[in-house]
Amino acid sequence: MREWLEAIGAWTQSWLSADAGLLGLFASAFFSSTFLPGSSEVVLVALLTAYPQLAWPAFGVATLGNVLGGLVSFGMGVAARRGVERFQHGGPRWQISDTATARLHRYGPPVLFFSFVPFIGDAMLIAAGWVRLPFAASFVWMAAGKAARYAVLVASMAGLMAWAV
C-alpha cells in the first residue's frame, strides 16, 4: 500500500505543483457546489497524496471554494424568485414543489447542513434562496456541513497516509 501511495504522489507531483493544485482544488470545489459537474473530493485526495503537508491549507481552500459556490446557488434561487415575481403579471404561478418548500420551512436552515450531498444539496440551496430562508443562518449551516465533509476527508487521508507509512 505504501509503495502505491508513493507512486501516485510522485506521478501527481510530476505534473502538478502545490500552488497549482490548490488553485485547481478551489476551482473544482467552487464548481462542484453549483450544478456544474466537478469532483472536488478526487482533486483533494490527489493533492493530499502528492503533498500531505498541505492537508489543512487544502481543507481551507476546498471549504472556501465550496461555500462560495453554495452562496452562488443560494443567490440563483433568490434571483430566480425575484425574476419570476417581476415578470409574472397575472399568468400561471411558478412555484417549487409544495413538498420541498414545506420541508424547507418546517426544518429551516439546519437542513442546509446536508447541502454537501451531490445534486440534492445544489437543489436544496437554490430552493432555500427561492423560499427566502434567513441568509445568515443558512450560511452558517451550509458552511458547517461543507466544512465537516472536507474535515472528515482530510482526517481520513491523514490517517491513511500515517497507516501506510
Give the mean pLDDT of 64-70.
Answer: 96
Question: Whole-angstrom Cα distance, residue 146 to residue 73?
Answer: 14
What confidence tens digit (pLDDT) does each residue in 80-92 have?
Answer: 888 887 777 665 5
pLDDT digits (tens, 9 = 90+) for 1-23: 567 666 766 666 666 688 888 99
Q: What predicted TM-score, i.e. pTM, was given to this entire model?
A: 0.82
